[in-house]
Amino acid sequence: MSNYDFKAVIHDTFAKQAFLNFIGAKITALEYGLCEMEIPYRDELTQQNKFFHAGIVGTIADNAAGMAGFSTMEEGSSVLSVEYKVNLLAPAKGEVLIARARVIKAGKTLTICNADVFAKTGADEKLCATATVTLMALKNYTK
Amino acid sequence: MSNYDFKAVIHDTFAKQAFLNFIGAKITALEYGLCEMEIPYRDELTQQNKFFHAGIVGTIADNAAGMAGFSTMEEGSSVLSVEYKVNLLAPAKGEVLIARARVIKAGKTLTICNADVFAKTGADEKLCATATVTLMALKNYTK
Amino acid sequence: MSNYDFKAVIHDTFAKQAFLNFIGAKITALEYGLCEMEIPYRDELTQQNKFFHAGIVGTIADNAAGMAGFSTMEEGSSVLSVEYKVNLLAPAKGEVLIARARVIKAGKTLTICNADVFAKTGADEKLCATATVTLMALKNYTK
Amino acid sequence: MSNYDFKAVIHDTFAKQAFLNFIGAKITALEYGLCEMEIPYRDELTQQNKFFHAGIVGTIADNAAGMAGFSTMEEGSSVLSVEYKVNLLAPAKGEVLIARARVIKAGKTLTICNADVFAKTGADEKLCATATVTLMALKNYTK
């Protein structure tokens, strides 16, 4: 468990990422080792069938995982995605895209997360992607 | 070698993807089994350090690979990314982001591509990511 | 749910793979969409610290996933691993290596599975790897 | 370029891995950032069609990459595979399996490698897999 206010730091880091704002992403839940992120549908985010573009799917998976992993790192750390792998399981067709990420292994240097991505229409959620993300904690990186 | 005008089909498919237009992606080279794609720098595409966001890096890698693979598929096919894996090797800091993708194995059902992503400033290019992308050809999908 | 005796086919396929026998792998549980596999410790299977070698960890993950996925495929199919990705989370130190695999998405052509690998000593199990495996069903492949 | 005798250290590390000896792997070429490894055919290493088993393919890819990466690390380091991802491109049918690995990015903490795996029969080599491997250098690990 963390002994500092990781939520404030994560929301601050999130707010500084112009691209996440550009695509309308928001953090909808955040706990130690867990993060949920959403992106509402907009035409600008789609591929040729008006589904969410795979680039958006990968982005939300990687970033939800990044925030989940960040929450378990030491105060003063910065988080970096080392690699991510996304399996696209079904068309991302819906009104909102939701990523739910959790830490699988929190390590001193590397943290591994899983993120599942769902396309939601009304109350119906459909799993459309699953991702594994490897994160690295960078120390003394704040200045 | 292809016996139909795959370039016209690829440029058409590309043009229909709103998200690729939204982020300013363009195809800068296209041959049988090869595709180069570029995205010029804009503040909206960045993370907290004003580098290209990892979501943009993954998007350009996946899409350049998709177009490279698409060029080797039979006429009338549609292309789908099954999975992609991106290793982020260095900060994507530059004036333009360039992905160069090539087919490693063209198959009847599945096609595997590699894409390298470079951040370019002036004449200097720096490798910032490498990706492997698995594509599936969907048949009779045009109507 | 399957309407044929997939268990008999899977045990038969398993038995024909000399390498799995060579390393002492055995299926310890098998249900529709689920497979558990074990490999008891032997010195021949280790790396320099006498832990299970990463090659063994990858092998058990891929094969448990393959059998889990195979159980959901149509009768007469053959299963092929298209790609697998393993994150090595902790040293595979134990008396027995256990992989537990489950289908995440069963498709007509492609099936995606997750496999977690545990190193067990006495009653203690430690998660040492997690893998994602993409499988392809090959039809009319029995002869 | 390295200023210590990395080849001696790598051959020593290799020799201590019982599993690599068990499957008959040998290093056939080793330079700074490059490693070639071979495994001759034996029935014990096969799957149901008498091709090299995917577990062997993954093992040789991961280990050739590990040795390639190790060659670029500081003296006194130990190397650990963090994750590896293998795309199986064609049946690994041949008299000998060959992996050729090279460093893509050598970093202080993480090193990323590519390994291509070929099945060779007579003078004919066929690409049967390509892998990406993320390695971590562990410092002061020798004692």
pLDDT in tens, D7-65: 999 999 999 999 999 999 999 999 999 999 999 999 999 999 999 999 999 999 999 99
**CA B121 to the chain's CA centroid:** 20
CA distance C30 to B101: 41
Beta bridge partners of B112: B105, B134
Six token digits for residue D131: 């892998």
Q: Which residue has the tokens 């498919």?
A: B13
Look up residue D142 and give its two tokens: 């020798």
Of residues C48, C82, C84, nearest to D13 (C-beta): C48
Identify which of D89, D104, D127 has the shortest CB distance to residue B130. D104
Residue D112: pLDDT over 70: yes
pLDDT at C1 over 80: no
For the segment C37-58, the average pLDDT, to the nearest whole number, is 98
Residue D96 is assigned to a structural domain of this protein: yes
Residue C140: per-residue pLDDT: 62
- In this structure, chain D runs to a length of 143
CA distance D115 to chain B (A): 12
- Say how many CB pairs under 8 Å bridge A and B: 104
Radius of gyration of chain A (CA): 15
- Is-contact D122 D85, C-beta < 8 A? no
pLDDT band (50, 70, 90) for residue D139:
confident
Full residue range of the structural domain in which residue C102 is found: 6-138
Can you tell me the mean pLDDT for B119-134?
Answer: 98
| Residue of chain A minimizing CA distance to B132 | A85
Gap between the Cα atoms of A120 and D47, Å rounded: 42
ipTM over 0.85: yes
Kindly give, in sequence order, each residue whose CB lies less than 8 Å from that of residue A21, ignoring residues fewer than 6 positions away: A15
B59–A55 C-beta distance less than 8 A: yes
Helix (H), strand (E), coil (C) string for chain B: CCCCCHHHHHHHHHHCCHHHHHCCCEEEEEECCEEEEEEECCHHHECCCCCECHHHHHHHHHHHHHHHHHCCCCCCCEEEEEEEEEEECCCCCCCEEEEEEEEEEECCCEEEEEEEEEEEECCEEEEEEEEEEEEEEECCCCC
Partner residue opposite C104 with nearest CB, options A89, A104, A105: A89
Is A1 domain-assigned? no
Please check whether residue B61 is in contact with residue B86, taking contact to mean a CB–CB distance below 8 angstroms: yes
Which of the residues in chain A have pLDDT under 70?
1-2, 140-143
User: If 0-12 CB within 10 Å is exposed, 13-18 middle and 19+ buried, where does residue B94 land?
Assistant: buried
User: Does the pLDDT value for residue B1 go beyond 80?
Assistant: no
- At residue B141, does pLDDT exceed 60? no
Q: What does the alpha-carbon distance between residue A6 and residue A12 come to, in Å, rounded to a whole number? A: 10
Q: Are C132 and A130 within 8 A, CB to CB?
A: yes
In a domain, B1, yes or no: no
Q: Is D141's pLDDT higher than 60?
A: no
CA distances from C94 to A26, C45, C71, C127, D66 (A): 42, 12, 29, 11, 23
Task: For residue D61, count CB atoms less than 10 angstroms from its CB and return exposed for 0-12, middle for 13-18, buried for 19 or more.
Answer: buried
B45 close to B23: Cβ distance less than 8 angstroms: yes
Helix residue spans in chain C (DSSP H): 6-15, 18-22, 54-70
Closest listed residue to residue A88, CA positions, set C17, C104, B129, C94: C104
Q: Which of C85, C89, C112 sits opposite A104 (nearest CB)?
A: C89
* CA-based nearest residue in chain D for residue B135: D87
Which pLDDT value is given to residue D2? 64
Locate the chain C residue with the closest alpha carbon to A88: C112
Closest to B27 measured CA to CA, from B46, B45, B14, B8: B14
Among C81, C82, C84, C105, which would you mutate to test the B interface (most chain B Cβ atoms within 10 Å of its Cβ)? C82
Using DSSP bridges, classify how beta strands C96-106 and D26-31 pair: parallel, antiparallel or unpaired: unpaired
pLDDT tens-digit map of C89-140: 999 999 999 999 999 999 999 999 999 999 999 999 999 999 999 999 998 6
Residue C4 is predicted with a pLDDT of 86
Share of chain C above pLDDT 90, in %: 94
Would you say residue A59 lies in a domain?
yes
Q: Considering the domain boundaries, does residue D90 fall inside one? A: yes
Q: Is the Cβ pair D80, C63 closer than 8 Å?
A: no
Task: Give the N- to C-terminal CA distance of chain D in Å, as an integer.
Answer: 25
Q: Which residues of D touch A110 (CB under 8 A)?
A: 82, 136
Answer yes or no: are the C-beta atoms of D79 and D93 closer than 8 Å.
no
CA distances from D119 to B108, D57, D98, D125 (A): 21, 10, 6, 6
Quick one: average pLDDT of C4-17? 95
Among partner residues D19, D44, D54, which is closest to C47 by beta-carbon distance? Answer: D19
The number of distinct structural domains making up chain D is 1
- Residue C1 resides in a domain: no
pLDDT of residue B2: 64
Average pLDDT, chain B: 95
Residue of D83, D85, D109 lying closest to A109 (CB–CB): D109
Q: What is the pLDDT of residue C141?
A: 47
Tell me: pLDDT of C143 over 60.
no
CA–CA gap between residue C108 and residue C136 (Å, rounded): 9
- The neighbours of chain D, by the rule of 3 or more Cβ pairs under 8 Å, are A, B, C
Contacting residues of A for C112, CB less than 8 Å apart: 87, 89, 130
Angstrom distance (rounded) from CA C6 to CA C20? 19
CA distance B12 to A126: 29
Quick check: C136 and C79 in contact, CB under 8 A? yes
Asked if residue B89 is part of any domain, the answer here is yes
Q: How crowded is residue D74: how many other Cβ atoms within 10 Å of its Cβ?
A: 12
Neighbours of B4 (CB within 10 A): 10
Query: What is the predicted pLDDT for the residue at B4?
Result: 86
| Distance (Å) from the alpha carbon of C73 to chain A's nearest alpha carbon | 16
Determine whether the interchain pair C45/D18 forms a contact, defined as Cβ–Cβ distance below 8 Å: yes
The region of weakest confidence among A115-119, B1-5, B11-15, D32-36 is B1-5
Contact D53 C20 (CB under 8 A): yes
Please indicate whether, in this complex, the C-beta atoms of A85 and D85 are within 8 angstroms of each other. Answer: yes
pLDDT at position B110 is 98
Whether D62 is covered by a domain: the verdict is: yes
**Which residues of D are less than 8 Å from A136 in CB distance?**
109-110
A6-15 and A54-70 helices, crossing angle to 10°: 150
Q: Note whether A85 contacts B88, CB cutoff 8 Å.
A: no
Q: How many CB atoms within 10 Å of residue A21?
A: 13
Q: What is the mean pLDDT of residues B50-72?
A: 98
Q: Give pLDDT, residue D4.
A: 86
> Residue B15 sits in a domain of what CATH number?
3.10.129.10
Q: Which of C11, C13, C19, C79 should we substitute to test contact with D (largest number of D Cβ atoms within 10 Å)?
A: C19
What mean pLDDT do residues B68-95 have?
Answer: 97
